[in-house]
């Protein structure tokens, strides 16, 4: 009988494989635990967001001759009707324009507040953060009704302007683009302020001190250091405000009415009032696609522009 030879290399290989196998098992358990923890949230998102969105997409490709759904056919005629009708194209342009105005107003009003929050003491910063976030605790409907009373022809704003001699007659602030921009800016200004403030908090104060030592004025230090380094927060705030303004319904409906037919209001009228579910679904997806396209192009341009290093 031939004796069994003992191979040391086989034992070494087996010892090396055991930690690798056990490490893979541990990683698999971690992934399994993560999936189990996220499972309720995933089911909620799939059931209440993904499935309804897919159903709306399905409806947008159905063409019907009447609201009852007779003679239904699958086509892209709803989208073709949208892009060939001047009324809906005007509504799309109006939605984009009002959203851009809202972004500009929010940025001009929000950046000084965010800069003040970054420069002040932690105690004052906490108080300012509470003041900035406090409007979010009030319903947007209540805030819009407050602006509604202020912007009336005989409201406080017009009376103040006439009393100061700035205007001779009341301005048309309600049921106009200006009124919608005021309402949207008031609603989404906190998001702009907090986004910019987050970037300003992360700027090293020694950079400004070094610039001052080298002879840079406060304005030059702001233009060369503070503003470029705060671009990520500015871009985040602009994207948030623009996206929410494009999809806003309550404020355009209350502050603009029929004079400012923004696309969310148009889609609501098509679905609820006119019972044109399929065409209203197409309008909704056009709004979604245009918003995603503008946001994607803007962020890509900023990330690949002159200050692309800031976004890394």
The count of other CB atoms within 10 Å of the CB of residue 162 is: 15
Q: Average of pLDDT values for 189-194?
A: 94
Residue 168 · residue 174 · CB < 8 Å: no
Answer whether 134's CB lies under 8 Å from 186's CB.
no
Distance in angstroms (rounded) separating the CA atoms of residues 166 and 159: 10
- pLDDT score recorded for residue 251: 92
Contact 229, 203 (CB under 8 A): yes
Strand ranges (E), 70-202: 73-74
Residue 17 has pLDDT above 50, yes or no: no
Place of tokens 């233009």: 223
> What is the length of the chain?
312
CB count within 10 Å of CB 91 equals 22
Using only C-alpha atoms, the chain has a radius of gyration, in whole angstroms, of 28
Supply the CATH classification number for the domain 85-311.
1.10.3720.10
Q: Under a CB-based contact definition with an 8 Å cutoff, are residues 250 and 140 in contact? A: yes
Phi then psi for 89, rounded to 5 degrees?
-65, -40
Mean pLDDT for the chain? 86
Q: Is pLDDT of 164 > 90? A: no
SS3 170: coil
Has residue 68 got a pLDDT over 60?
no
- Give the CA distances from residue 229 to residues 64, 125, 221, 225, 251, in Å, rounded to whole numbers and listed in that order: 53, 20, 11, 6, 33
Q: What is the pLDDT of residue 67?
A: 47
Residue 182: pLDDT above 90? yes
Which contiguous run of DSSP H or E holds residue 301? helix 277-303
CA atoms of 307 and 111, how far apart (whole Å) = 19
Work out the average pLDDT over 51-62: 91
Q: Of 272, 282, 275, 288, which Cα lies nearest the Cα of 61?
A: 282
Residue 295 · residue 243 · CB < 8 Å: yes
What tens digit of pLDDT does each residue of 251-283 get?
A: 999 898 888 899 999 999 999 988 888 999 999
Q: Does residue 5 register a pLDDT over 90?
A: no
Helix 177-201 × helix 86-119 angle, to 10° = 40
The domains of the chain are located at 8-60, 85-311
Please choose, from the candidates 64, 87, 91, the residue with its C-alpha nearest in 3D space to the C-alpha of residue 277. Answer: 64
Q: What is the pLDDT of residue 97?
A: 95
- Residue 32 above 90 pLDDT? no
How far from chain centre, in Å, is Cα 130? 21
């Amino acid at each position: 009988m031939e004796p069994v030879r003992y191979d040391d290399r086989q034992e070494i290989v087996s010892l090396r494989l055991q930690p690798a196998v056990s490490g893979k098992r541990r990683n698999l358990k971690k992934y399994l635990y993560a999936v189990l923890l996220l499972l309720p949230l995933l089911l909620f998102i799939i059931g209440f967001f993904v499935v309804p969105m897919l159903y709306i997409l399905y409806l947008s490709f159905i063409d019907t001759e009447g609201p009852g759904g007779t003679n239904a056919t699958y086509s892209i005629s709803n989208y073709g009707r949208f892009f060939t009708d001047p009324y809906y194209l005007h509504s799309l342009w109006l939605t984009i324009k009002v959203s851009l105005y809202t972004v500009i107003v929010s940025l001009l009003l929000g950046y000084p507040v965010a800069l003040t929050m970054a420069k002040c003491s932690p105690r004052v910063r906490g108080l300012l953060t509470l003041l900035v976030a406090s409007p979010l605790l009030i319903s947007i409907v209540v805030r819009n009704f407050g602006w509604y009373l202020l912007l009336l022809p005989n409201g406080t704003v017009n009376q103040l302007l006439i009393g100061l001699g700035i205007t001779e007659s009341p301005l048309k602030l309600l049921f106009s683009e200006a009124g919608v921009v005021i309402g949207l800016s008031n609603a989404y200004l906190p998001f702009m302020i907090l986004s910019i403030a987050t970037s300003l908090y992360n700027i090293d104060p020694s950079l400004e001190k070094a610039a001052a030592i080298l002879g840079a004025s406060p304005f030059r230090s702001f233009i060369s250091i503070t503003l470029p380094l705060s671009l990520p927060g500015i871009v985040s705030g602009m994207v948030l405000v623009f996206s929410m303004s494009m999809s806003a319904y309550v404020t355009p409906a209350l502050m603009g009415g029929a004079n400012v037919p923004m696309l969310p209001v148009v889609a609501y009228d098509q679905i609820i009032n006119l019972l044109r579910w399929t065409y209203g679904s197409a309008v909704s997806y056009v709004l979604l696609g245009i918003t995603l396209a503008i946001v994607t192009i803007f962020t890509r341009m900023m990330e690949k522009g002159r200050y692309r290093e800031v976004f890394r």
